[in-house]
Chains A and B, each alone.
Chain A
Amino acid sequence: MANRLEDVGAEAVAAKGWFKANKWLILRRVSQLSILGLFIISPFLVDVLDELWIAKGTLSSSVILGVVPLTDPYVLIQGMVSGDVKPEIVGLVGALIVIAFYLLVGGRVYCSWVCPVNMITDAAAWLRRKLGLKDKSHISRSTRYWMLGLTLILPLVAGGIVWELVNPVSLLYRGILFGMGTAWMALVGIFLFDLLISNDGWCGRVCPVGAFYSLLAVKSPLRVVAGKREDCDDCMDCYMVCPEVQVIKPALKGAEHGLGPVILSSECTNCGRCIDVCAKDVFRFGSRFTNNQVEAIGVVSRQEDSAKA
């Protein structure tokens, strides 16, 4: 029996307690805020730490602890499209470190664990559920890949890394670290867009940054697994909180089609909210390599079933 939209997670809180029912959400907020916080407090700690910067720069490019370079490969590629960017060794190494990290943990971990805009769109989604607003816009989830293509063509047509002029992720980060200007209007715009126009509109349908990072997640080992999918009681809570709702069904309900319980879609942000809100603890973090084993077991058990019959 499906729960009501505004009661999402209530069952989990009742079953597991408030903290366990919000564990991954809290961890994500801690992650997002402490990454931002490190950039904010570093300049104030420079004197105490003997000229050491804990984190310097922004998400576009930064230096951690004065040595580790990190560079956003997506911004770098936009610049390279024009042919004018020749990254210095640090820039290149920084991009490779970032790529390697997200290949491992899933590209869209960036979206749910790092990107500050996620907090804005999550807030909009929460309010949307509370108000029971329905999505009538039907913006395709593939729009973001078109946007990704657009942002890679624009440097050639309009000149310059055009997307970075309006990229809300950068606007928010730079806004907090260097001064906001009128960028807050764009962020309010995204909140209202997600609240009033399109459900999960920005992060789930439009944002090309997420599209880029989802391409890095195609083969990433760290995945959410619907390990105890046979316990699912169809309360629909996971569907209602998931920002990429299309990724759940194949894993959760795919048993009869011989599909394994691992959420394989690269669009899954590994946010873990489905793990939180499930009163039956169907989901857990696991590896994509468990999929085949379970699939094999599934096949075997089906064969056994047919043998019995």
Chain B
Amino acid sequence: MFDSGNGKGQGKSELSRRRFLSGVLKTACGVGLMGVGVGLYSEKASSLPALAIRPPGALPEDEFLNACIRCGLCVKDCPFDMLLLGQMGNGVAAGTPFFTARDAPCEMCEDIPCIKACPTNALDHSLTNIEDARMGLAVLVDQKTCVAFLGLRCEICYNACPVQGKALTLNYEHNARSGKHALFIPVVHEDYCTGCGICEKVCILEEAAIKVLPNHLAKGKLAGHYRIGWEEKAKAGKSLVTPDIEHKYNLPEGARYDHQGKGMIIESEGIGVDRPVDQMNMLRQQMEKK
């Protein structure tokens, strides 16, 4: 009927083959379209909001999304009920666990029940010491509102930190405004910070000045070709570039530079005064003599 075939039966089979092929094509196109839709949606649904932190031991985000089978067992086994599951509409990939530190931080259980509950490696079972967890990194995001920078003794983040004295320490700094007091500035040390979020939770401000951010937001990244000179030197046991030369200042004759902060010292008279730096030094010497 539709082809040059002369037999009636042949035409019929050609017709049914056409119908079959067009059916298959229609289905394949429909499913392909669905795939594009779901794929595009997944792009949007898999971008983790900045304040959503994964539980301890979670694999890097892209691997985590492959390994997490969205069962919610970690959520159920959290004794503090602080883990939530992502759902359509809250921006976290549906069914994946997270917490928001300001609402409820990780209490860092010693036996890490959430990892034990995980039926896959989405939460890394080789993590057995909770202090090795790196859920995120605390960052003091606003020095203008943190009351420590205003000269007040707050230190609540320092006192609440479960890895106290290591992950968060206080630096004493001079209070330039009053001229006579110290500032007690909280400083996060990423080698120890687990990203539990307790500091963010306890921050006394209306909006926390210290926040736990996912590692990819909190941290910079050196370009791949960067090498830290002193580390390479220590590894190799010697300098890998030119042999170390003793450091020298290029100073005018008779002048030297004091490392202890006294600055430039002119040891003899009779040097030229045509350069501004020499003029300045001469002036200063004359003032001191008076």
Contacts and interface: CB of A to CB of B under 8 A. Distances in A.
Interface of A: 43, 53, 56-58, 60-63, 69, 71-72, 75-76, 79, 82-88, 90-91, 94, 139-140, 142-143, 146-147, 149-150, 153-155, 157-166, 170-171, 174-175, 177-183, 185-186
A147 B31 contact: yes
Given A79-B120, A139-B30, A165-B42, A85 B67 contact: yes
B87 A178 contact: yes
A57 B76 contact: yes
B88 A88 contact: no
B95 A164 contact: yes
B34 interface: yes
Interface stretch (B58-66, B139-147, B214-222): B58-66
Nearest to A61: B71
B27 A140 contact: yes
Contact of A158 (B34, B42, B84): B42
Contacts of B75: 178
Among B68, B76, B89, the one with the most A-chain Cβ atoms within 10 Å of its Cβ is B76
A178 B85 contact: yes
B119 A160 contact: no
B155 to A, nearest CB: 37
B28 interface: yes
B72 interface: yes
18 contacts: A57-B73, A58-B72, A61-B69, A82-B67, A84-B63, A88-B121, A140-B26, A140-B27, A160-B42, A160-B66, A161-B68, A165-B42, A170-B70, A174-B70, A174-B87, A174-B94, A178-B84, A181-B87
B71 A162 contact: no
A62 B73 contact: yes
Interface residues of B, number: 47
B72 A174 contact: yes
A88 B87 contact: no
A48 to B, nearest CB: 17
B76 A43 contact: yes
Interface string B22-43: 0100111011101100110111
Contacts of A160: 42, 46, 62, 65-66, 93
Contacts of B102: none
Contacts of B93: 160, 165
B87 A146 contact: no
A68 to B, nearest CB: 12
Given A150-B35, A166-B38, A182-B88, A161 B94 contact: no
The 4 A-B residue pairs with the shortest CB-CB distance, nearest first, are A160-B65, A181-B87, A91-B119, A61-B71
A170 B94 contact: yes
A165 B125 contact: no
B42 A85 contact: no
A161 B85 contact: no
Contact of B66 (A57, A61, A72, A79): A79
A83 B120 CA distance: 12
Given A146-B28, A178-B85, A180-B87, A88 B119 contact: yes
A60 B69 contact: yes
Nearest to A147: B31
A86 B68 CA distance: 10
